[in-house]
């Protein structure tokens, strides 16, 4: 993808997309991290965009996947922490 095109997309949609993500996760730090992951995914996915929806809708669908990944990773980290804690208490 053309770097200038990506910059324009980022500048145009980053604030709106950050607000969308923030509504889903609550913490600004988490939302900013997810936004960055979303924009990385956009680099890979934009060539697949066919215009069947608005670009913003397309970006939000990518963000939704990144939000799900964020919660999945968070759940795994929590489980691993509890497993280590349990192991340490029993050994």
**Residue among 41, 46, 28 nearest 69 (CA):** 41
pLDDT of residue 90: 74
Helices (H), the chain: 3-25, 28-45, 55-90
pLDDT in tens, 5-54: 889 999 999 999 999 999 999 899 999 999 999 999 999 998 889 999 99
How many structural domains comprise the chain? Answer: 1
Contact status, residue 41 vs residue 61, Cβ threshold 8 Å:
no
pLDDT in tens, 57-87: 999 999 999 999 998 887 666 655 555 666 7
Q: Give residue 58's domain range.
A: 3-90
Q: The domain spanning residue 53 has which CATH number? A: 1.10.1740.10
């Amino acid at each position: 993808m053309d770097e200038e095109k990506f910059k324009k997309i980022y500048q145009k949609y980053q604030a709106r997309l950050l607000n969308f993500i923030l509504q889903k996760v609550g913490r600004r730090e988490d939302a900013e991290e997810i936004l960055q992951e979303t924009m990385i995914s956009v680099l890979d996915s934009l060539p697949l965009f066919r215009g069947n929806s608005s670009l913003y809708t397309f970006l939000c669908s990518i963000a939704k996947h990144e939000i799900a990944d964020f919660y999945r990773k968070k759940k795994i980290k929590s489980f691993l922490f509890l497993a280590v804690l349990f192991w340490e208490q029993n050994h």
